[in-house]
Chains A and B, each alone.
Chain A
Amino acid sequence: MLSRQGVRSGLRAWCAAATARPLLARGFADAASEKKAKVFGEAQVTDKFKEDWKKIAPNFDMPKFPSNFMEARPPVPPTIPAKLTVNFVLPSQYELQAKQVDYVIVPATSGQMGVLPGHVPTIAELKPGILSVHDGTEVKQYFVSSGFAFVHANSVTDIVAIEAVPLDRFDPDEVRKGVQEYNQKMNSAKDDLEKAEAQIGVQVHSALQTALGIS
């Protein structure tokens, strides 16, 4: 669409300056990825799509797309930045939004994974466990149910979880009861579906147990 070579330096300056939704967004591409450019603020539609749209629906405006409503992401910086930018979202709220921290530890399926600035781009599926956000001396810990964590090349980490609760909101007695209950259910499960559900319950409650440090 546009000649990407010439605007590379302009892009870096522009992206650095504009964190709000760019008003004059045209399809600037990050020079690093020559494949599909992820542009936000303006819909990523090819010209062919626009033509097709005019053919089938000449009287309607084009619909909006989610990329219209997203802020642009910072480009890949040339050196490793000092801080990690964390976005932690839940269905019920934005828990952390573009917060600059030192590092985070996420409960990936393969174990606790630490993410520092300059981490290699990763997609990690999360299992129930503790997520801790470290910024200097302050540490915030949440128990997350499950979700995904994306680490991007530009040292932005997105963590999407379904439920995340600070640890002090849990009742140790309830957790113990839960472990016993789900163990019983697992033993008395009649079919695979019930067994799978009971296993999930056992996994979550045991993780909670370890997280809270109770036996």
Chain B
Amino acid sequence: MASGSARPGSMRLAKLLYGNVNSYLSSGAAGINGGGAVWGSTTGLSSAELAPFGARSASGQIVRNRMKSVKSIQKITKAMKMVAASKLRNIQVKAENSRGLWQPFTALLGDAPATKVDKKLIVTISSDKGLCGGINSSVVKYSRALFRLNGLDGPDKDVKYVIVGEKGKAQLQRDSKKLIGMYFGETQKSSICFTQCSMMADEIIKSNEYDAIQMVYNKFNSVVSFQPTVATMLSPQLLLGDQEVTGDLDAYEIEGSDTKEEVLQNLSEFQFACTMYNAMLENATSEMGARMSAMENSTRNASDMLDRLTLTYNRSRQASITTELIEIISGAAALEG
């Protein structure tokens, strides 16, 4: 008797909950993941997860589970955002203080990103951890573009990547595996310091022959804006030889007993270390800022999703209570009459 009257009731309930979804499902396989404010697709449940017809409280359980998980996601992303905000404050101070470090070198040697050289190193600075928005993709995009720029001149140019950071390596490995010269990982385990950067610069200089280095990183403008920047550094041989490139380096006297070659070599290596220090700090600051905004968006989406789920849960709960009442009353009416 209950089952007899349950079927029309549950059909009504089913239509209420799954009516839209069924029409979507019948229209195409893409319905589940399609956009739009459809209950089944917004909460991401596939047809297999939706309760079969006739089951009243099972769908409530599923929605409750879903709500629990979305709430915990919301808490986690909020915590990640706070952590990123506090880290951002610290490292932003360091990055802004280090901005003066590369300026003397650019003032002396100029900035010539368009120099045509035979051997080039592209140093890509990316982050180790993910969940930081699009900064790593943009750095990799620009590195690839620089690579192709060199290729425009002729096929015999030697261009290699030196990658700092796990995420950059993961992206560049897909199509440029053979071109990766060196890789530095876990650079932010202890906070970034100049000694570490000079050792990295030393390693790169020792193991690679190059005419120019182009470093690609994200420069931190503000918490929501990061600009991919390319810094160019020339090798000592180029500084010595090609005066058109460097400008009026000849006008400068070399103080001291070292020869010009030695001084220029020290100068070029020091410039590399200084630029790398600033670049790594700026990139780390951009990473924190990007992570903050990504986690902020994530928290907001999670709370929106939670609101929607709560509404549908309440609706289904009230509908099932109403159905129970109707059954009882109709049963009682049938007994009397």
Q: Which A positions have Cβ atoms within 8 angstroms of B?
A: 33, 35-38, 40, 43-46, 48-49, 52-53, 55-57, 60, 63-70, 73, 87, 89-94, 97, 108-110, 113, 120-125, 147-148, 150, 152-153, 156, 158-160, 162
Contacts and interface: CB of A to CB of B under 8 A. Distances in A.
A38 B252 CA distance: 15
A123 B114 contact: no
A91 B274 contact: yes
B216 A121 contact: no
B70 interface: no
Interface in B61-115: 94, 97-108, 110-114
A108 B255 contact: yes
Contact of A35 (B108, B243, B263, B270): B243
A87 B100 contact: yes
A209 B269 CA distance: 29
A108 B112 contact: no
B109 to A, nearest CB: 9
B113 A49 contact: yes
Given A35-B248, A160-B270, 12 more contacts: A38-B107, A38-B111, A44-B111, A46-B114, A56-B145, A56-B152, A64-B229, A65-B113, A65-B229, A87-B103, A93-B97, A152-B107
Interface string B244-265: 1111100111111110000100
Nearest to B145: A57
A60 B245 CA distance: 26
Given A63-B142, A121-B251, A153-B251, A36 B106 contact: no
B274 A160 contact: yes
Chain B interface residue bracket vs A: 35 or more
B306 interface: no
B21 interface: no
B160 interface: no
Nearest to A67: B111
A94 B97 contact: yes
Given A55-B152, A94-B97, A160-B104, A36 B110 contact: yes
Contacts of B113: 43-45, 49, 65
B103 A33 contact: no
B228 to A, nearest CB: 5
A129 B103 CA distance: 23
Nearest to B194: A91
B16 interface: no
A43 B229 CA distance: 11
Contact of B100 (A68, A97, A113): A97
B294 interface: no
Given A36-B112, A121-B251, A66 B267 contact: no
A124 B101 contact: no
Given A57-B148, A153-B251, A66 B231 contact: yes
B100 A94 contact: yes
Contact of A148 (B245, B247, B257, B270): B270
A4 B218 CA distance: 34
Given A45-B113, A147-B270, A110 B255 contact: yes
B163 to A, nearest CB: 17
B221 to A, nearest CB: 9
Nearest to B147: A56
B277 interface: yes
Interface string B269-283: 010001101000000
